[in-house]
Chains A and B, each alone.
Chain A
Amino acid sequence: MKIFRVNMSNLSFVAEEVPEEWKVLGGRGLTSVIVAKEVDPTCHPLGNKNKLVFAPGLLTGTMAANAGRLSVGAKSPLTGGIKESNSGGTAAQRLAKLGVKALIIEEIPQGDKWYCLHVNKDGVEIKEETELLGKGNYEVIHTLTSRYGENTGVITIGQAGEYKMSAANISVKDPKGHIRSLGRGGLGAVMSSKRIKFITLDDNDGEGIKILDKEKFKKAASIFNKGLLSHPVSGNALPKYGTNVLINILNEAGGLPTKNFRMGQFDGAEKISGETMYDTIMSREGDPTHGCHVGCVIRCSQTYNDKDNKYLTSGFEYETIWGFGAGCTVDDLDVIAYIDQICDDIGIDTIETAGTMMVAMEAGILPWGDGNGILNLFKNEIKEGTPLGRILGNGADFTGKAFGVTRVPTVKRQSMPAYDPRSVKGIGVTYATTTMGADHTAGYSVTSNILNVGGHIDPLAKEGQIELSRNLQIATAAIDSAGLCIFTAFAILDSDPVSHALIAMINAQYGTNWSVDDWFNLGRQVLKTERAFNEAAGFTNKDDRLPEFFSEPVPPHNATWDFSGEELDQVHNF
């Protein structure tokens, strides 16, 4: 495999040998190690010194199910700390099949021209781009698919990225030609700072995936893949209802943040629930289940059609539906679907902008429950890059400052996801302490707090939450390094044969002799690397705290956030 390095200052490309210490790294493990080694932690995230690093996971491109995630890393313009965001789509497997261990983009061009990159077996071609500037992601993907063919992988930024908004994401074409998002942390703005509108990937005649012991790999992959299908969550619940199955459960548990985290239950929950969504999809001839990448057996994605049975959006996730729904007290699933569509098209993170809309409602920019008002802010302000749009597009924290709002649900300037940290305390510990800013995927304690997977810990009590979050953050950092979908964790956590098969696949592919402990050591090392970067960037323990309004009780349990700073700091003792 090779490291592909692109320098945008002199528009050059070089293929480098993979350093020994990076050979058994991939995904988040590799992006974070490269960012930590090569990026000055004090640099401006949109300046010449930041780098944008793309890496497929350790298992990406193999016959391991659900291993097609692409990690992207940089210093985040949203948080000011290290960032890794990952996504499905068609890009990671193409990079892996081309033998690209990582694609590193450094420096920024002189002048104001825009560029595109084309990655193929010969390397990276850097070309000037004019035609697709100012266009949304759907048009970019459709145009490039016509230009290069169905099999071309596409990584692109929309208008939000072009404006260098801190909530801008990077979009990846999925197998159906729709959009998956490297959502969090403003990585679209970093790509824009390099003046790259899109990257296309052609894996024809690539060197392919090298596996040292193919027979052993095949056996382990078979156990792993069957394990995912036989687990009740990854085998049944996710394929049928998608991630939005959680609306009714979190609402019932009193953990569905409603009206900017004022309540834990939403009167309109049933109208935006996974069950309602499933019935709507079926009645409109949509597709309730498909994968976000080739080789996905969980298939939690779906196609949601409008009232005329025409495509409206896909990859319609719980977090998005919660945020613009319960978070903003909107109970119209169709309006939320239109918001999801425009967020995909302009390339902006739905979790960050949902938090932003809650803050905008606090500020009186629009009334609570005004779904069409949200849609208009995206269409007429953010997409157009108006002064108001540029404030909103920079996220909840920025918007709170602009309008003097103090009820801003962020940690490290990143918006909080769809679980109230007072009534699902384990996830609050993760929000506070992860290197990423408020991020549920970094250590999904909801699994033991609410879902009864991997044991049960009372969501309303403090006991056991620090250890739970720590262990999950470590495990997640390792899973993200393998290129695995985080939903594989349900089976990995619950089943020894599945976790052992995972290690066996790594050993068979790379000739290592890892134990489960070595696997977790990888996760520990990733977290330590990321935390050291953040400390050098200026973060301290005081950044590992929740906003002060979480000391208010939240109904129905009247739970408060009651962890001390000293208790939270224990997460990092490993």
Chain B
Amino acid sequence: MEVKVKLFGDLREGRFKEEKTQLEENSCVIDIINKHNLPLEKVAICMVNSHVAEFGQVLQNQDTVAFSPPVGGM
């Protein structure tokens, strides 16, 4: 199956802003983290289809998965 992966902040460095990636059926969020070597301690926010998600969430074909390092603002 195919999912869209978005990266924010420092997670983009040496990687990409956004790309489509092929995964096996029943893959989870953590499989994307592993596939792109995202350092776990730098993944503070994860969203699947704009909903906050856990690393163990099972993905569906055409999902959009976004990862952000710790951020703050106001």
Contacts and interface: CB of A to CB of B under 8 A. Distances in A.
Nearest to B41: A232
A238 interface: yes
Contacts, number: 92
A249 B74 contact: no
Contacts of B70: 232-233, 236-237, 451-453
Interface in B24-74: 44-45, 47, 50-52, 66, 68-74
Contacts of A450: 45, 52
Nearest to A276: B17
Given A252-B66, A451-B45, A452-B45, A458 B52 contact: yes
Given A270-B17, A275-B8, A243 B52 contact: no
B44 A244 contact: no
A490 interface: yes
Interface stretch (A14-22, A306-314, A373-381, A439-447): A439-447
Nearest to B44: A452
Nearest to A245: B71
A246 B9 CA distance: 10
B74 A440 contact: yes
Contacts of B47: 252-253
A232 B66 CA distance: 19
Contacts of B44: 232, 451-452
B71 A246 contact: yes
A237 B52 contact: no
Interface in A241-279: 241-246, 248-249, 252-254, 265, 270, 274-275
A490 B72 contact: yes
Given A237-B9, A270-B17, A451-B44, A243 B73 contact: yes
Contacts of A234: 72
A252 B8 CA distance: 10
Contacts of B73: 238, 242-246, 300, 318
Contact of B72 (A453, A456, A557): A453
A317 B73 CA distance: 9
Given A440-B74, A487-B74, A240 B10 contact: yes
Contacts of A233: 70-72
A237 B69 contact: yes
A229 to B, nearest CB: 13
B71 A249 contact: yes
Given A270-B17, A452-B45, A556 B50 contact: yes
A319 B50 contact: no
State the main secondary structure of chain A at its contact with B.
helix
A292 interface: no
Contact of B52 (A241, A248, A446, A456): A456
B69 A249 contact: no
Interface in A201-234: 232-234
Contacts of A249: 8, 45, 68, 71
Contact of A254 (B6, B9, B50): B50
A68 B51 CA distance: 37
A73 interface: no
Contacts of A244: 73
B50 A444 contact: no
Nearest to A460: B51
Contacts of A253: 47, 50, 52
A459 interface: yes
Nearest to A241: B9
A486 interface: yes
Contacts of A456: 52
Contacts of A240: 9-10
Name the residue among B9, B47, B71, B73 with the largest chain A CB count within 10 angstroms. Answer: B73
B74 A441 contact: yes
Interface in A440-476: 440-441, 444, 446-447, 450-453, 456, 458-460
Nearest to A458: B52
Nearest to B45: A452
A240 B44 CA distance: 16
Nearest to A459: B52
Contacts of B8: 245, 248-249, 252, 275
A496 to B, nearest CB: 19
Given A232-B69, A249-B8, A486 B74 contact: yes
17 contacts: A232-B69, A233-B70, A233-B72, A241-B71, A243-B73, A243-B74, A249-B8, A252-B6, A252-B66, A253-B47, A275-B9, A317-B74, A451-B70, A453-B72, A486-B74, A487-B74, A556-B50
Given A233-B71, A252-B66, A487-B72, 11 more contacts: A232-B69, A232-B70, A234-B72, A243-B72, A249-B71, A252-B47, A252-B50, A253-B47, A270-B17, A318-B74, A441-B74
Those 10 A-B pairs whose CB atoms lie nearest each other, nearest first: A232-B70, A243-B73, A233-B72, A246-B73, A237-B71, A254-B50, A252-B66, A245-B71, A318-B73, A248-B8
Interface of B: 6, 8-10, 12, 17, 44-45, 47, 50-52, 66, 68-74
Interface of A: 232-234, 236-238, 240-246, 248-249, 252-254, 265, 270, 274-275, 300, 317-319, 440-441, 444, 446-447, 450-453, 456, 458-460, 486-487, 490, 556-557
